[in-house]
Amino acid sequence: MSRSHLRLAAVVAVLCLGVAPFVLSPFSITLMNYIGIYSLVAIGLALLTGVGGIVSFGQAAFVGVAAYATAWVSTLNGYSPWLGLLFGVALTCTVAAILGLATLRLQGHFLSLSTVAWGLAIGFLFGNIEGLGRFNGISSIPPISLGSYALVTSAQIYFLIWGIVAAVLLLGYNLLDSRIGRAMRALRGGNILVESLGINAFQIKLVTFVIAAFLASLSGWLYAHMSRFVSPGPFDAGMGIEYLMMTMVGGAGSLLGGVVGAAVVTLLKNSVQDYLPLIAKGASGQLEIVAFSALFILFLQWARQGIVPFAARFLPKLQHEWPKQAPPLPRRPQPTPGELLLKVDCVERRFGGLIAVNNVSFDVRSGEILGVIGPNGAGKSTMFNCLTGALRVNKGEIVFSGRPITRDAQSRIAKAGIARTFQHVKLRPRMTLLENVMLGTYARTRSGLFAGAFRLNGQEEASARHEALKQLERVGLGEKPFEHAGNLPLGNQRILEIARALAADPALLVLDEPAAGLRRQEKLRLAELLRSLRSDHLTILIVEHDMEFVMSLVDRIVVLDFGSKLCEGAPAAIRSDERVQEAYLGGVA
Ligand code: ADP
Ligand code: MG
């Protein structure tokens, strides 16, 4: 399937939506309107939960803030609903930003629990503020007007609702395929990788959170002016869970899944309400919830990934276009060969009582390859994590390119020109090879949220794609750039990490055990790649457990043992050093 097929499918979908109100009954149109309104919240949640990995139970509260805000502006104060929109969106996004600032540093379950807490708290507020009608709510809300044309009937507001849904989908998919969108997609799976690419993870989380709240606020505005009445019920914690359910049913990582999930849940709820009384006479509303929960549990058992990703497996794969020739991304000023690039001075790092790195010092000069070797547990990875900012040092100083970086955030150090790979490979398995490597270009590019959503980033995006393909070719993975990274064998995953690091145009490349777990053939290929990088005058710091592997590659070697530096020197001298043989080979050699 090519992009033109995709466009055709979108046009057909828009046409179907366009004629729907002329053929459907008024009741069905109302149902469609609700689906559209819920879709907006679910799309935001798909972005927040499915893409960004932040599970929120509190979206209904954001819908409520905007609905009450516009009701207050338009009904109680008599201004235009359009002013209500502005106020509702501004208020919701402000509340979300404040909540996000306060909670988004929490990890995992704690973050989700906090969404439950503020979801309940805000829902509770609506029913208890005198000026907002308490549990009676606010009624007689005016309809939205376009000039003198009031959107009163369900068929009239239909076009506004679905027009907004279509626009949100279009902009959302554009965004996901842009620089900021890729950063959002990388959030899932931990901050360490994201930060090591020069991305401020907290900032990206906050942006994602506010976007989701923004979509909820659009939904709340439409809801208030369609139903012409607001009360606390539709914005309570139960509804917050229902929105999450819609997102999961549709497929958490998929924006279109938000729409499908909203449709399925709404229609299902509707038919459960229709048929349940036939089965159990006189059944109360409680039974509805039981039936619905049972259906949801079945869903979790059988189709956990959600409808859209499931259906997508049966569709022909989307054909990607190969990156075209594009002007190269700007390069950073390269250090002069031989100058002092990195100075590690008496660094110490403890874990409780354990001193993992003990008073270690060494220098790296521009253009050289320095190997750090030592037995397992010697403190090599800890050392690397300290100098890339992934771990704080307890003592000592690290200077890079003449600037102290000891206390800098990881993303700042990455921007300064240190790119790294990880001992335990950190890729985004569901992104393509090309996209994984494009993540590396983040700090070299600048287009923001709006440029991404409105596709004003064409030039830079083309350059970034071209750069990523160039690096893939450089490491020998240029043949299948649209393959998912998760499908690669381990050896190639390690090589892909190197391509990603190279895409950052680093002044210093830091590799943590790139040969670990590789087969002989793969090791040979890796050695060849590293030699080619060396002939490109790249400065490389490499940790390796396998002494033979580094011996032929590096200019100098630093040996660590039990956290301390044992010795330092040329490979030949290290090989014949008795202390090294003792430590490294346990005296066997
Ligand atoms: P290497 O990479 O040389 O194999 P590491 O730097 O991974 O060694 O580990 C050095 C020592 O620090 C080991 O004893 C390890 O158990 C300990 N260590 C590493 N990371 C942590 C951590 N996050 N918490 C506690 N101890 C750790
Ligand atoms: Mg290690």
pLDDT in tens, 348-400: 999 999 999 999 999 999 999 999 998 888 999 999 999 999 999 999 999 99
The pLDDT-based confidence of 589 (bands split at 50, 70, 90) is very low
pLDDT value of position 310: 85
pLDDT value of position 585: 62
Q: Would you kindly state where each structural domain of the chain is located, as residue ranges?
A: 30-306, 339-417+507-589, 432-505
Tell me the per-residue pLDDT of 100-134, one tens digit each, with 9 for 90 and over: 999 998 887 888 888 988 888 888 888 888 888 78
Tell me the per-residue pLDDT of 195-239, one tens digit each, with 9 for 90 and over: 999 999 999 999 999 999 999 999 999 999 999 999 998 998 889
> Looking at the DSSP assignment, which residues form a beta bridge with residue 544?
373
Strands, E, within 113-235: which ranges? 138-139, 145-146, 149-150, 229-230
The pair of three-digit structure tokens given for residue 381, joined into one six-digit string:
């990875």
The pLDDT-based confidence of 587 (bands split at 50, 70, 90) is very low
pLDDT value of position 123: 85
Cα distance between residue 497 and residue 490, in whole Å: 11
Query: Do 369 and 544 form a contact (C-beta atoms < 8 A)?
Result: no
Cα distance between residue 445 and residue 430, in whole Å: 23
Residue 188 has pLDDT above 80, yes or no: yes
Mean pLDDT of 16-25: 90
The pair of three-digit structure tokens given for residue 552, joined into one six-digit string:
């032929």
Cα distance between residue 88 and residue 67, in whole Å: 7
Probe ligand 1: pick from 351, 383, 386, 564, max atoms within 8 Å of CB?
Answer: 351
354 CA from centroid of ligand 1 (Å): 9
Using CA atoms, how far residue 88 sits from 68, 70, 94, 370, 504, in Å, is 8, 6, 10, 57, 41
The pair of three-digit structure tokens given for residue 343, joined into one six-digit string:
């100075």
pLDDT value of position 539: 94
Choice between 70 and 107, residue whose per-residue pLDDT is larger? 70
382 CA from centroid of ligand 1 (Å): 6
Which one, of 120, 118, 72, lies nearest residue 95 by Cα?
A: 118
**Smallest CA separation from ligand 1 atom 16, residue:** 377
As for ligand 1, residues whose beta carbon falls within 6 Å of it are: 351, 354, 356, 374, 376-382
For domain 339-417+507-589, the CATH architecture is: 3-Layer(aba) Sandwich (3.40)
Residue 450 has pLDDT above 80, yes or no: yes
Residue with tokens 């955030």: 409
Which one, of 448, 5, 51, lies nearest residue 255 by Cα?
A: 51
Class of the domain covering 30-306: mainly alpha
Tell me the per-residue pLDDT of 267-299, one tens digit each, with 9 for 90 and over: 988 887 777 766 666 555 667 777 777 877 887
Query: Do 444 and 199 form a contact (C-beta atoms < 8 A)?
Result: no
- Nearest 5°: the CA angle 291, 292, 294 is 65
Probe ligand 1: pick from 382, 421, 547, max atoms within 8 Å of CB?
Answer: 382
Cα distance between residue 414 and residue 506, in whole Å: 8
Residue 313 has pLDDT above 50, yes or no: yes
> Looking at the DSSP assignment, which residues form a beta bridge with residue 560?
565
pLDDT value of position 190: 85
The residues, ordered by sequence, that sit 6+ positions from 38 with a Cβ below 8 Å of its Cβ are 219, 243, 246, 262, 265, 266
pLDDT value of position 274: 76
**Smallest CA separation from ligand 1 atom 27, residue:** 351
pLDDT value of position 451: 94
Which one, of 262, 237, 199, lies nearest residue 46 by Cα?
A: 262
Using CA atoms, how far residue 25 sits from 22, 32, 266, in Å, is 8, 11, 17
Mean pLDDT of 464-478: 94
Probe ligand 1: pick from 192, 347, 354, max atoms within 8 Å of CB?
Answer: 354
pLDDT value of position 280: 65
- Write down how long the chain is: 589
Tell me the per-residue pLDDT of 506-552, one tens digit each, with 9 for 90 and over: 999 999 999 888 888 888 888 889 989 988 889 999 998 877 888 88
pLDDT value of position 284: 59
pLDDT value of position 233: 87
Choice between 1 and 212, residue whose per-residue pLDDT is larger? 212
516 CA from centroid of ligand 2 (Å): 10
